Amino acid sequence: MPMTTSNSNCDNWYNPGDPHGLGVIPLGVINGDAYGVLINDMQSCLALVDTTKLLAAPMGSGTNVVDPNYDLVANGVLKFYPLQ
């Protein structure tokens, strides 16, 4: 997760411990794509990950890691929604 966003409720993202704050929305529910849903440990922000766009994102050479110069938010891969 990017460590800064445009919303202070979503800054400094840390994943929660057990139970993990992770879910999946199957294909076809939103515009035909599958999405990952995460909540941060403070339960102040929800992140929606378009997995179709994530899989199409440029990867680092010889890796399964998204190129660090690729902006996930600007390219619609990742959206943050404040909860509080």
Domain boundaries, the chain: 17-82
pLDDT score of 37 more than 80: yes
Confidence band (pLDDT; 50, 70, 90) for 70? Answer: very high
Arithmetic mean of pLDDT over the chain: 81
Mean pLDDT over 21-42 rounds to 77
Instruction: Record the pTM.
Output: 0.77
The burial of 50, by beta-carbon neighbours within 10 Å (0-12 exposed, 13-18 middle, 19 or more buried), is given as buried
Give CA–CA dist 33/63, Å, rounded.
Answer: 24
User: Residue 3 pLDDT > 70, yes or no?
Assistant: no
Among 2, 5, 29, 1, smallest CA distance to 82 is for 5
Tokens 């400094």 appear where?
Answer: 12
